[in-house]
Amino acid sequence: MSLDLALYLVTDSEQCARAGRSLQETVLRAVEGGVRIVQIREKDASAREFLASVCAVAQVLPAQVPLLVNDRIDVFLAARAAGARVAGVHIGQSEIPAELARQLIGPQAILGLSAATPAALAEAERCGVVDYVGIGPLNTTTTKKNAPPALGLPALQALRQRVRLPAVAIGGIGSGDMAGLRAAGFDGAAVVSAICAAPDPSQAAQALLQAWQRGA
């Protein structure tokens, strides 16, 4: 499976609201600016609320941009059953094992996995069902409760070199980090605040993508 992970948006509806925009508007403007893949993350929402957010974004998202659901395989399955165009899920180390997730979502869906230790990366590769891994956090991040300490670029690069799977970096990433991440061998960068909290999500996405391209 060929995925364009260069600029990966992970949403935060609270940040969008504080910036005076709906989740759908933020996603649309970010995609206009160059976001290539979108993950809906709603850590504090009920299943019904999460499903409504996924379906609302799926309704307006261009067909070429994959839409992923964070953690909640039940929400992904419900959205798909409701006819929403959802492409897959991204799970962490505390969710069900990747092999079981793959059985539930099917062979065609995208499966991403957060993996930030040598052992987790080795397991992600060994199981043979993961499409890409997320490695981080690069910097200190406030968008995820109980986030681990920032690892920094040298540590992230060392982890990236341990796995052949496509990999995205995550964790407090801004435009100043993009070129270094690409030069370190990452396939893309996942951002939250840099777009969701930005005054103009389209301009923010453009700046991030231009910085990424400078790292080629």
Residue 137 CB contacts under 8 Å (≥ 6 apart), including other chains: 116, 144, 147, 148, 149, 150, 151, 170, 171, 172
One DSSP character per residue, 69-118 reads EES-HHHHHHHHHTT----EEEE-TTSS-HHHHHHHH-SSSEEEEE--SH
**Calpha distance 175→19 (Å, rounded):** 19
Question: Radius of gyration (Cα) for the chain, nearest Å?
Answer: 16
142 known member of a binding site: yes
The question of whether 114 is a catalytic residue gets the answer: yes
Q: Give the pLDDT score at 172.
A: 95
pTM of this structure: 0.96
Q: Give the pLDDT score at 2.
A: 78
140 known member of a binding site: no
Q: Give the pLDDT score at 144.
A: 67
pLDDT, one tens digit per residue, over 28-85 is 999 999 999 999 999 899 999 999 999 999 999 999 999 999 999 999 999 999 999 9
Domains of the chain: 7-215 (3.20.20.70)
Residue pair 10/192 in contact (Cβ under 8 Å)? The answer is yes
Q: Give the pLDDT score at 141.
A: 81
Looking at the DSSP bridge assignments, the partners of residue 7 are 189
In the predicted model, residues of the chain with pLDDT beneath 50 are none
143 known member of a binding site: yes
95 known member of a binding site: yes
31 known member of a binding site: no
Q: Give the pLDDT score at 136.
A: 96
Of 114, 160, 182, 202, which one is the catalytic site residue?
114
**Calpha distance 130→109 (Å, rounded):** 10
Residue pair 5/35 in contact (Cβ under 8 Å)? The answer is no
The question of whether 145 is a catalytic residue gets the answer: no
Residue pair 185/192 in contact (Cβ under 8 Å)? The answer is no
